[in-house]
Structure 1
Amino acid sequence: MDPQALPSPVLRTIPRDQHTISRRDISPNALRVLYRLREAGFGAYLVGGAVRDLLLGRHPKDFDVATDATPEQVRQLFRNCRLIGRRFRLAHVVYGREIIEVATFRANSDDGSGDREMEDGRLVRDNVYGSIEDDAVRRDFTCNALYYAIEDFSVRDYVGGFDDVQARTMRLIGDPETRYREDPVRMLRAVRLAAKLDLSIEPATAAPIPVLAPLLGDAAPARLFEEMLKLFLSGHAVASFEGLERYGLVASLLPDTAAALRSNRSGALRRMLLQGLANTDARVAADEPVSPAFLFAMLLWPAYCRALAGLLAQGMPGEEAQRRAADRVTLRQVQTIALPKRFSLPMQEIWLLQERFSSRQRRRVFRLLANPRFRAAYDFLVLRLAASDSHAGDVEFWQQAQASSGDELSDSLEAAAAAREGDGEADEAPRRRRRRRRSAGAVSG
């Protein structure tokens, strides 16, 4: 971290009667940690997102504490404490299911007394401790560098974050390009927090993002996977995706999807993706689970469709082309984002089952209904209606199939087969023609 890229801290104290934070809105366990640290003679403050969210009238999920006590000193004070982390050494004080994270003030420059490591301009380990002023200016955004003091209930602001919160503005502390180069994931944090909090990214903070977006290729794939879950499973998936588009980040995270969306002139694939993300936001708001496998099935479906279309155009048989396209898209994507197999394999199953929804053969219908991935694959089929209404007949059939008893479904399938035979149709030939059309149709959504 280059200290010259950071501003000089200037303390502004906002007294209790000039801000909206009340102890009633702070976790009792966080208050316990703050008071015990103060009683032991240490400085201790509620810091970061909790202070920001409370000022915005929101209800924080997590309450973090910053202190001049070292992690080892924190552990000596709390029997329910464990130390974690290599890149950033932290203390976790555990109260049942709630964890209060306690971080020691970190310094801007290494005088040789601490543990800091840089690689190619990126900070990979930072355990050099300093003062609260040092800690404030080394944080990422001004809105995250606010400290609530328990002794007088004031808010301490060293970098102008209080005014930025009032103006609902995201601003990087220091030189934006330097800070992004230190940690490219800050670009994703800017987009995510702006989407989550409905904040605007101020121009100087936003300007370098499209230029520096390729630096995300150097970030750890496992870390990018976690960032993707934060972006899309926190209830603000649509706004997050639109932010990624606005600042040119989609191509760095999902390169094959970005190429497919550019080449899809009708916009059908983007409509489907945005509808799926809107559905995800609705499920999160209703406190319903969202599988990462389904999320990535949506995010990478445009890439799969494009890969499948290319293989079919080369004359590859449908089923082989589907499997090959699914493998190709997955293998290329995991080079950027470490998608675990426990999610990538169900994702591929959701894609590959789409073709089977066109079948009306009794044995295949019952086999598909019994498939463990049926419900996820059916929900995905319904989602595809946002791209093309050509799937409406299949959706209606499978909706009725799920509502019918086994005997009722069997009777209706046999009656339909008999009707086709009565019309002089062979059972297998139309199905093969229909399957080939569905393979091509999958490419359009």
Structure 2
Amino acid sequence: MSSIIKSVKRWFASPAVESSGSSNRTQIISRDQHSISRKDISENALKVLYRLSNAGYESFLVGGGVRDLLLGLHPKDFDIATNATPEQVKELFRNCRIVGRRFRLAHILFGRDVIEVATFRAHCDDNIQQAKEGMILRDNVYGDIEEDAIRRDFTINALYYNIKDFSVYDYCDGLSDLRKRQLRMIGDPETRYREDPVRMLRVVRLACKLDLSIEPKTLKPVSELSYLLEQVPAARLWEEYRKLFLAGAGKLTFEKLREYGLFHALFPATDRSLKHDDTAQAQQTEQLILDALENTDTRIATEQTVNPAFLMAVMLWQPLLESTEALQQKGNNFNDAFFKSMARVLNAQSQHISIPRRYALVIRDIWSMQLRLPAHHGKKAWSIFEHPRFRAAYDFLLLRSQSDPRQLELANWWTKFQDADANARRQMLQQTGGGKKRRRRKPRNPKRQQASKNRH
């Protein structure tokens, strides 16, 4: 680890190396001038890079993988750029599938590991299909590496690692911005956001995740153009939601999304709850979310598993309660109102961030278990304890108790019950009225009694 830190520090201290390339801005940094080593690149990514190169194609590691390696981080995803078309890539790899309509990509499959290979894009306005607001709907015009670099979003993502000589190509002064720890858009920020509104989310995500400042011109249009996110397909925003909040900097990301006016586009119902006229209620909602995000960040830092459904259940909890209250006022009893609201809230949220069915089922279980947890006596307590979603529901209750003291006694009871041995658990259940009771016989129906006598 110390050797990595030293090499990164040496790279940050070294001057940029100018080349005599076709672009005046092009820089080529030789192997001895940067900190990237092949041992830090996944074996599968190297297989793809070498096979493309050996087949006569240009082959570069690009984007976040290069950026993170230069920062001394350990990226999980490695993307590749090449002059080979998706069809040509498919000819080289039997384990390849071509995906996407908006941008056609080649995915090379190694079990669960997917290496994404993109063909160099060209900037050709006549052949790019755009919506009225400027969003690119379809773009499969291919070009060379320099054109591809200009088409990328941020300067620090337009860095290419050449597998032939292990040099790094920089076409947009990304290395300079990386040294400044600055996030800067390539080209006019407003135009680039209109081309793909998701870039506004990426600005926030990368700045928070990598502890980068956002260049003022890059940040300025974000709040004004936040409404453009409504044009983005809800299915696409599910992955963005995961990247935003499950990358280890969820709490800061949440705060910045609200500050820049982007949170409303993702969670409109939750945003309204956070701005509720009842200040105490709004503060309680905010605290619940902050506690959940802090807990999630800690779990990720300690390499524990996280489930995106859990955080979604937290985000939508207050809208669920508000919907339940509204239905009660229309004459529904609490339980009916609560379960009707689960479907209502999830359906409404899926118009903005599409929630896959398997995660929606988990969310429903976590919510419904909040009604069962107070019934901690006798067989009901054991039934709750043995439920497959008990742990998630218990964790959810713990979070609620941090922002709502009324839930503290119940949370403490379940904590104690889990830690207790068999005898102590039996005593706890007896104290809550869960001891053995004599069964009361139901009174027999008089009509049935008379019918029975007549039969005999």
In structure 1, the partner of 2:454 is: none
The Cα offsets for residues 318-343 of structure 1, whole Å up to 9 and x where unpaired, read as: 22232233233222211111112322
Could you say if the C-alpha distance between residues 319 and 139 of structure 1 is closer, same or farther in structure 2, counting changes exceeding 3 Å? same
Letter of the aligned partner of 1:255 in structure 2? Answer: P
TM-aligned CA deviation for residue 59 of structure 1: 1.4
Q: Distance in 2 between matches of 1:337 and 1:276?
A: 19
1:160 corresponds to 2:173: yes
The Cα offsets for residues 51-96 of structure 1, whole Å up to 9 and x where unpaired, read as: 1111111112122221112222223334444333322222233445
1:293 corresponds to 2:305: no
Could you say if the C-alpha distance between residues 28 and 373 of structure 1 is closer, same or farther in structure 2, counting changes exceeding 3 Å? closer
TM-aligned CA deviation for residue 148 of structure 1: 1.6
CA contact (8 A) 2:60 2:161 kept: yes
- Which of 370, 382, 403 does residue 398 from structure 2 map onto? 382
Q: Distance in 1 between matches of 2:299 and 2:412?
A: 23
In structure 2, the partner of 1:433 is: none
TM-aligned CA deviation for residue 242 of structure 1: 1.8
Between 1 and 2, higher relative CO (CA 8 Å, sep ≥ 6) is seen in 1
Aligned length: 409
Letter of the aligned partner of 2:292 in structure 1? Answer: G
1:132 corresponds to 2:145: yes
In structure 2, the partner of 1:440 is: none
TM-aligned CA deviation for residue 294 of structure 1: 1.2
- Ranges in structure 2 where 5+ consecutive residues have no aligned partner: 1-22, 436-456
CA contact (8 A) 2:321 2:338 kept: no
Letter of the aligned partner of 1:265 in structure 2? Answer: T
In structure 2, the partner of 1:282 is: 298
What SS does the corresponding residue of 1:127 show, helix, strand or coil? coil
Q: Distance in 2 between matches of 1:376 and 1:392?
A: 17
Letter of the aligned partner of 2:101 in structure 1? Answer: R
What SS does the corresponding residue of 2:279 show, helix, strand or coil? coil
1:99 corresponds to 2:111: no
Could you say if the C-alpha distance between residues 386 and 396 of structure 1 is closer, same or farther in structure 2, counting changes exceeding 3 Å? closer
1:347 corresponds to 2:347: no
Could you say if the C-alpha distance between residues 372 and 234 of structure 1 is closer, same or farther in structure 2, counting changes exceeding 3 Å? same
CA contact (8 A) 2:417 2:428 kept: no
RMSD: 2.5
TM-aligned CA deviation for residue 98 of structure 1: 3.8
Could you say if the C-alpha distance between residues 213 and 418 of structure 1 is closer, same or farther in structure 2, counting changes exceeding 3 Å? closer
TM-aligned CA deviation for residue 9 of structure 1: 7.6
Aligned runs of 1:68-79 on 2, under 5 Å?
Answer: 68-79=83-94
Could you say if the C-alpha distance between residues 58 and 415 of structure 1 is closer, same or farther in structure 2, counting changes exceeding 3 Å? closer
CA contact (8 A) 1:45 1:65 kept: yes
TM-aligned CA deviation for residue 183 of structure 1: 1.0
Q: Distance in 2 between matches of 1:406 and 1:395?
A: 19
In structure 2, the partner of 1:55 is: 70
TM-aligned CA deviation for residue 252 of structure 1: 0.9
CA contact (8 A) 1:110 1:128 kept: no
- Which of 46, 57, 61 does residue 42 from structure 1 map onto? 57
What SS does the corresponding residue of 1:73 show, helix, strand or coil? helix
The more displaced of 218-227 and 355-364 is 355-364
CA contact (8 A) 1:63 1:101 kept: yes
TM-aligned CA deviation for residue 406 of structure 1: 6.3
Could you say if the C-alpha distance between residues 12 and 359 of structure 1 is closer, same or farther in structure 2, counting changes exceeding 3 Å? same
In structure 2, the partner of 1:393 is: 409
1:230 corresponds to 2:246: no
Q: Distance in 2 between matches of 1:332 and 1:69?
A: 42
1:371 corresponds to 2:371: no
Could you say if the C-alpha distance between residues 360 and 99 of structure 1 is closer, same or farther in structure 2, counting changes exceeding 3 Å? closer
Q: Computing the radius of gyration over CA atoms, which structure comes out larger, 1 or 2?
A: 2
In structure 2, the partner of 1:249 is: 262
Q: Distance in 2 between matches of 1:253 and 1:418?
A: 45
